[in-house]
Chains A and B, each alone.
Chain A
Amino acid sequence: AQSVTQLGSHVSVSEGALVLLRCNYSSSVPPYLFWYVQYPNQGLQLLLKYTSAATLVKGINGFEAEFKKSETSFHLTKPSAHMSDAAEYFCAVSGNNDMRFGAGTRLTVKP
């Protein structure tokens, strides 16, 4: 079965600084990879997804992620953090017929 590891349960950045959230995956078949965001007391919303069309994927709100097969990684970045980016972020992998999530990274943005 596929799995995801998110490095760092909590990341804190200053407003305007680079955001880097790390995700490594394991899958026995070519994976589909996703990043979701969760705001307090809400469900999950899709930020972006990788489906093998391009290794650099652009998502909503200025986020992007790069698929690196050799490193089995799919790290999420944003050049300049905004206060509204404070939320919990989940990396997910879809291999066979199910989608598995990482433990999540809580992003705090300091003014």
Chain B
Amino acid sequence: NAGVTQTPKFQVLKTGQSMTLQCAQDMNHEYMSWYRQDPGMGLRLIHYSVGAGITDQGEVPNGYNVSRSTTEDFPLRLLSAAPSQTSVYFCASSYDRGDEAFFGQGTRLTVV
């Protein structure tokens, strides 16, 4: 039972580069979300999805894109990386809004 799988675990990007953070879950959850974690700021919601084909913006969506073509996958795209996007990124999924969210192990991204 893999749960929520994020890849890569670590990444260093140069300013202006683009990349995709991958997230996959095998629990048939409808709800999926991306968060970034910065010291003293907790987890801030970037984008979320309530099902395949449906996405919406969270608190800090600028500079990020998402799509949800399947129930299992929810990739996060950085269009043009900036140093301000240096952070730890977590993907999470849940069956419904009142249910426990399961988290991936995180991706530590550094933009230089």
Contacts of A51 in B (CB 8 A): 98
Contact of A44 among B48, B50, B56, B103 (CB under 8 A): B103
8 Å CB contact of A99 from B33, B56, B106: B33
Which of the segments B13-21, B34-42, B63-71, B72-80 contacts the partner chain? B34-42
Q: Is the CB of B105 within 8 A of A96?
A: no
Stretch at the interface among A64-72, A78-86, A100-108: A100-108
Q: What is the interface size of chain B, counting residues whose CB is below 8 A from a CB of the partner?
A: 25
Is B45's beta carbon under 8 Å from chain A? yes
B97 and A96 within 8 A (CB):
yes
Q: Which residue of B lies closest to A42 (CB)?
A: B105
B91 nearest CB neighbor, chain A only: A43
In the complex, B52 has a CB within 8 A of chain A: no
Which residues of chain B have a CB within 8 Å of any CB of chain A? Answer: 31, 33, 35, 40-45, 48, 50, 56, 58-59, 90, 92, 94, 97-98, 100-101, 103-106
In the assembled complex, which residues on chain A have CB atoms less than 8 Å from the CB atom of B35? Answer: 101
Minimum distance in angstroms from B36 CB to a CB of chain A = 11
- CB pair A43 B43 closer than 8 Å: no
> A90 contacts B90, CB within 8 Å?
no
Output the nearest chain B residue to A97 by Cβ-Cβ distance.
B50
Closest to A4 in B: B42
* B45, A94: Cβ atoms closer than 8 Å: no
Question: Can you list 14 contacts pairing A with B, beta carbon distance less than 8 Å?
Answer: A32-B97, A44-B43, A44-B92, A46-B101, A51-B98, A90-B42, A94-B97, A94-B98, A95-B97, A99-B92, A101-B42, A101-B43, A103-B41, A104-B42
